[in-house]
Amino acid sequence: MPHSHPVLPLVAVASLGGTISMTPSDAAGGVVPTLDATQLARSVPGLSDVATIRTASLRQLPSASLGYDDLMAALAWAEQQIEEGASGVVLTQGTDTLEETAFLLDLFWKSPAPLVITGAMRAPQAAGADGPANLLAAVRTACHPDSTGRGVLVVMNDTAHYARWVSKSDALAVQAFASLDGGAAARLVEGRPTFFHARPVRAQSLPRPVRDWPKVALVSAVLGDDGELAEMAVRGGYEAVVIAAQGAGHVSFGFAQRIGELTSQVPVVIASRAAAGSTASQTYGYVGAEIDLARRGAHLAGWLSGLKSRLLVSALLATGTAPAELGDALANWSKLTRQ
């Protein structure tokens, strides 16, 4: 009797570069992106027992040099793979900007199928290279039925994170990612993603951009700061400013006054520069605190980090939200966190 082989799910894997793909270069004196998706997939023991893998090499970049166009191209490719029958999609990329790219792609990802992003902290030739294990865990997550309807997931170190909450919390450690506020989405146990909570309510996905991506500044409020840099950004043509403000959304007296002047020109969003936690809305009453800044016309980012607020503002403007409607759009979006 012939052996019957189980039909494996199809998972599409595309590489964008990053440490996971880097090998030593004598000329550069360090590792640089060289490996493509096929080479990455071949380096993973047991991958072909988990899924049928289709590969594509979209970019070979360090992740700081990925741009909006690269990501929109990756999004289109990923959507096409799902249309053509893939159960899920995996993108490999550098970890440095992963919390940003995952969030940006999540804003646009409309399929219930999983889009999983992974990378590595140690390059392939290093002792204890984590790329193969991360790619295997990402593929396992991408084709598991429990992963559907959760938007973009970041899988690193046998942990899945929601794009919404994940941040790079360590520059070099293998345990480089954390979801400090929302908590991890799942842990992989014996190869199976074990989700901790029901599927989250997701914002409606954004349509494709209808204009060029706007310049949106992200400016940290720091000790002794009167907000001059934020003003220079507006004078320099930035269409909106996100302030990574102190504590729960606070700036100095001088900075507050500048924000009051800027809000009549461009949208100003106040996020917290702390690693975790939300902006407040009705706690502090002094000049430069959240109540004062909201009165001066700034929008409070809630749980969204400065990095993610900047991307949300950019994506809303790029997809046709008028600057005057940005406050309502941001408020609607952040309501989802409270459901």
| Nearest CB to ligand ASP, comparing residues 162 and 177 | 177
Q: How far is the CB of 22 from ligand ASP (least distance, A)?
A: 7
Among residues 19, 92, 118, 279, the one annotated as catalytic is 19
Tokens describing residue 14: 């595309």
E strand map for 62-182:
88-92, 115-118, 152-156, 159-162, 167-168, 177-178
| Nearest CB to ligand ASP, comparing residues 13 and 206 | 13
Give which of 279, 282, 284 is closest to 268, Cα–Cα. Answer: 279
Task: Look at residue 206 and give its three-state secondary structure.
Answer: coil
Q: How far is the CB of 93 from ligand ASP (least distance, A)?
A: 7
Give which of 52, 174, 191 is closest to 119, Cα–Cα. Answer: 174
Gyration radius of the chain's alpha carbons = 21
Q: How far is the CB of 187 from ligand ASP (least distance, A)?
A: 21
Q: How far is the CB of 159 from ligand ASP (least distance, A)?
A: 16
Residue with tokens 């001059």: 228
Q: How far is the CB of 94 from ligand ASP (least distance, A)?
A: 2
| Nearest CB to ligand ASP, comparing residues 62 and 132 | 62
Tokens describing residue 270: 């106040």
CB atoms within 10 A of CB 74: 23
State yes or no: is 194 an active-site residue. Answer: no
Burial class for 4, CB neighbours closer than 10 Å (0-12, 13-18, 19+):
exposed
| Nearest CB to ligand ASP, comparing residues 16 and 293 | 16
Q: How far is the CB of 129 from ligand ASP (least distance, A)?
A: 12
| Nearest CB to ligand ASP, comparing residues 62 and 214 | 62
| Nearest CB to ligand ASP, comparing residues 129 and 241 | 129
Residues 6+ apart with CB under 8 A from 275: 167, 169, 180
Residue nearest to ligand ASP (CB): 94
Output the CA angle 244-96-101, nearest 5 degrees: 75
Interface positions with ligand ASP (CB under 6 A): 18-19, 62-63, 94-96, 119, 121
Residues 6+ apart with CB under 8 A from 58: 14, 15, 16, 70, 73, 74, 77
Instruction: Kindly list the catalytic residues.
Output: 19
